[in-house]
Chain A
Amino acid sequence: MMAPSGALQTPPVPAGPPAGDFLRVERLTKRFGEVNAVDDVSIAIAKGEIFALLGSSGCGKSTLLRMLAGFETPTSGGIQLEGREISGLRPYERPINMMFQSYALFPHLTVWENIAFGLKRHGQAKERVAQQVERMLGLVQLKPYSQRKPHQLSGGQQQRVALARSLALEPRLLLLDEPLGALDRKLRAQTQFELHSIIKSVGVTCVLVTHDQEEAMTMADRIAVMSAGRFLQVGAPREIYETPATRFVADFIGTVNLFDGTLVEDEPGHCVIQTPAGRFYVSHGITGVLGQKLSVAVRPEKIEISLQAPERTDANCFRGDVVEGAYFGASSLYRVALADGTKLQVSVPNSERHGAVIKVGAAVYAYCSPESLVVLTS
């Protein structure tokens, strides 16, 4: 179950020089054989922003990240970092560092040597290297572990070493490849916040790749939902969740009830859609043609159910039978079968300890407000 969470509360991105001009990706394409792994993608990322590429495996997010790092050469398009074209540079020439999936720590080196690796390669003075490594160890709270080898550390500690190693060179851009993917669920939730606060405290601009929507939503200022090498929607977590642009995005992020129907009324302030399940009155207008086929989306937590009929039953109200119920503690999830056979998912918060219980088999009214509905045309 996906709660409608936004990114962590952080000070807004400073409105410096033209926002979104720090990292610019222009019409970037990567072709493998006949397949476009990344297909004509453009983005602009602001300084200090955390930008997440979210998608299922094979959507091209990792290829895009690897092109930013320099491990893949773009078939066409450009990458500019602070106005400088970098797509022709080798990985070791870019002011970019990456935290690899499952970390890729050097197994034969200690934590200290791992973090110092990049600093030594850049020919920094011994004292400067030691100073920076100590600073990084402090940042990720691993000072007591500096002389251990990676295999002597827990998964969470390894993850922090990897972060320290990628931050040690003070990169202009930090890339994170599935940063929490190798951690178990409980640890992940905790590490998510830690990672976020470290990155924000350092102030580095960051592009992260994940298939985990919760991770993307807690970590990122903006999310790009990717599929088949393209961006389907780019926006703040709240925007993507509350106003998905397409059926795919609505379905990919969280749970959604989708109703296919036709547009029967379209005014500036509202529109009405007729579906086999019933009439939907939506509080926003769309620029469509009457009779157009489209869909209405509504999140499970935005539907209410009750045994009594609500005040208005002419629209956004459906009768049905509860066919399944699951108690999750904080909320309960019900599946309601409507007259036309549609199964509606409804999430009800358990705000009272001994509130009224709706049993499986009960005939209920399910209703939602016009504001909670989103019309999707594609």
Chain B
Amino acid sequence: MSLTESLAESIAGSAYTAAPRRWLDRLLHRNWGRTAVIALPYVFLVLFFSLPFLVVLQISVSEAEGVKFKSLWDYADGTLSLHLKLANYAFLATDRLYVNTYISSLRFAAACTVICLAIGYPFAYFMTKARPTLRPILVMLVSLPFWTSYLLRIYAWKGILDDRGVVNNLLLALHLIDEPIKMMYTPFSMTIGMVYTYLPFMILPLYGTLVKADPRLLEAAGDLGTTPWKAFWLITVPLSKAGIIAGSMLVFIPCVGEYVIPELLGGPQTLMIARVLWEEYFSNNDWPMASSVAVSMVALILLPLVLFNRYQTDVRGEGADAAAPAGGPR
């Protein structure tokens, strides 16, 4: 048998015949109930997220024509011409206000994430140290704020931080201060509001990973000469990395795009992208500009999310790459 013959046979045997058959097999033996269950969230996301987002994307690159938008393409004389107005994006990248607002949003979100982590980690850690019978109650207490409206809880902070609020009144009554401290409508009040709102999203995933930690690993570390404090940093913290990342994402992402809290608790110093967005849409009525702000914001948030997903697949894929060198993404 010549080489070409055997090659042809091997191709015919494997690719040309087996592949369609396998494909057909899969189609016939498919578990349609399962597919439907998996497809449902996808359908939902496509209908209510992807499609509207594509509409926003379209608006961001189109030219306003009164209340309507110019079509993105036209076809005349056998030529299809595409009109993508990128001026908005160019403006976004060069305008001081937008750039500063993006940076400020990211900074506030980052600060909130760090503060949430600093409060949430010890909180979650001591939750896992509580008696097992007490733990479900603690988890419930952490999620208790969700039972009242988020808007109400933000308003409540006004009553606490106002010039005539609880804190100032108390300090005045104790004669610790002579005149009210300005707390409302400052970065301080906004940060408090965001940390307060998003703390449970940090605590719950952290608790989830920490509670699964094997106490014998700490014993083993102690047995090998490590003090409990060092063992915490060498064993507990690295092993809760997934929880730290998940919690940070859950706090950081909504914080970047937060609108209500900056609106209610923030002031002139707290530039947040969502407020700019609202102004473009509803005060300036510049929908293409507003849409390009929105698209940039999504892109900005997507970046850390993609990184996170890559990390997660790395963690799960570890079993497969047995020969991979140690280390990898830390």
- Which residues from chain A sit less than 8 Å from chain B, CB to CB? 69-71, 90-92, 96-98, 100-101, 104-108, 110, 112-113, 117-118, 121-122, 147-149, 151-152, 165-166, 169
Return chain B residues, CB-CB under 8 Å to A92. Answer: 222-227
The reply to whether B224 and A121 form a contact with Cβ atoms under 8 Å apart is yes
Which residue of B220, B234, B326 contacts A104 across the interface (Cβ within 8 Å)? Answer: B220
What residue of chain A has the Cβ atom nearest to residue B239's Cβ?
A: A108
Residues of B within 8 A of A70 (CB): 222-223
Nearest Cβ on chain A to B195's Cβ, whole angstroms: 29
Contact between chains at B223 and A91 (CB < 8 Å): yes
Residue from A112, A113, A121 having most chain B Cβ neighbours under 10 A = A121
Whether B220 and A100, one on each chain, are in contact in the complex, defined by CB atoms closer than 8 angstroms, is yes
**Is B216 in the interface zone, CB < 8 Å from A?**
yes
A-B contact pairs, 8 of them (CB 8 A): A91-B219, A97-B224, A98-B223, A100-B216, A108-B239, A108-B241, A151-B318, A165-B224
Which B residues lie within 8 Å of A169 (CB)?
A: 224-225
What is the predominant secondary structure among interface residues of chain B facing chain A? helix
Nearest CB on A from B209, distance (A): 12
Minimum Cβ distance to chain B for residue A328 (Å): 38
B322 in contact (CB, < 8 A): yes
Instruction: Please give me the residue from chain B that is nearest to A177 by CB atom.
Output: B216
Does B78 interact with chain A (Cβ within 8 Å)? no
> Nearest Cβ in chain A — how far from B291, in angstroms?
44
Whether, in the assembled complex, B214 has its beta carbon less than 8 Å from a beta carbon of chain A, the answer is yes
Q: Does B235 contact A (CB under 8 A)?
A: yes
Q: Mark B233-253, 1 if CB is under 8 A from A, else 0.
A: 011001101000000000000
Residues of B within 8 A of A122 (CB): 225
B329, CB-defined interface residue at 8 Å: no
Binding site for A on B (CB under 8 A): 214, 216-217, 219-227, 230, 234-235, 238-239, 241, 318-319, 322, 325-326
Contact B239 A117 (CB under 8 A): no
Among candidates A97, A106, A147, A152, residue contacting B319 with C-beta atoms closer than 8 Å:
A152
CA distance A234 to B319 in the complex (A): 45
* Closest residue on chain A to residue B322 by CB atoms: A152
Report chain B residues within 8 Å CB of A105: 220
* Contact of A110 with B326 at beta-carbon distance under 8 Å, contacts A121-B226, A121-B230, A169-B225 already known: yes
Least CB distance, B306 to chain A, in whole angstroms: 23
A374 shortest CB reach to chain B, Å: 41
With A104-B214, A108-B239, A152-B319 as known contacts, state yes or no: A147 contacts B326, CB within 8 Å. yes
Known: A90-B222, A107-B239. 13 other contacts (CB 8 A): A69-B223, A70-B223, A92-B224, A104-B214, A104-B219, A106-B221, A107-B217, A110-B326, A117-B234, A118-B225, A152-B318, A152-B322, A165-B220
